[in-house]
Amino acid sequence: MSERWWKRKKRPRDPWFSDIFDEFDRIEHMMDEMMRQAFQPPTKKGTKTKGPYIYGFSMTTGPDGKPVIKEFGNLKPNRRPSKAQIREIKEEREPLVDVLEEDKTIAIVAQLPGVEKGDIDVHITETQATISVNTQEHSYYKKLQLPAIVDPESVRTSFKNGVLQITLQKMLLEKFSHKE
């Protein structure tokens, strides 16, 4: 079947509907091209394919009652991506990360499926946290701006079933001002 079912039906000449069918045609063409590229073998010897393509989002409710949407993966959505944007898919995936702030601590929870504890590299400064994994099978990277100043020496981590939990102590304002 070379022609899709909606192409065989007679399309209405009403401009309202033609826009919808044109959009279906564009999406079909884009999906065909993506599938062709996904199953096309590498052309040069030793080149690495970029798949799998991962994109997802997490939606939670913030403390103010408004929804908070967090994206993760190695492919960000774009309504009409150019060929250059399609080629710029990151090698590393962005893990799903939650940052939970309490009175005296900040907890960072990152989902890193398929990773061993020894492969995880965590770097903490007073204002930023970086989580990275770079193995043959998995590559993750996430850089976070922390919601408060923390003591980098207070890092406690645990890793179980693909979930990394980092607990940091907030730095007291008086303690931070004496450092300067």
Q: Could you tell me the residue ranges of all domains in the chain?
A: 5-38, 55-179
Strand order in the sheet with 128-134: 120-124, 128-134, 139-145
CATH 2.60.40.790 corresponds to the domain 55-179: yes
Q: How far apart are the first and last CA of the chain?
A: 72
CA 180 to chain centre: 36
User: Is the dihedral angle over the CA atoms 142, 143, 145, 146 positive or is it negative?
Assistant: positive
Residue 17 gets the label, from left (phi > 0), alpha (psi -120 to 50) or beta, of alpha
Full pLDDT tens readout for the chain, 180 residues: 455 555 555 555 555 566 677 778 888 888 888 887 776 655 555 555 455 666 777 777 777 888 877 777 766 655 555 555 555 556 778 888 999 999 999 999 999 998 999 999 999 999 999 999 998 888 899 999 999 999 999 999 999 999 999 999 998 765 545 554
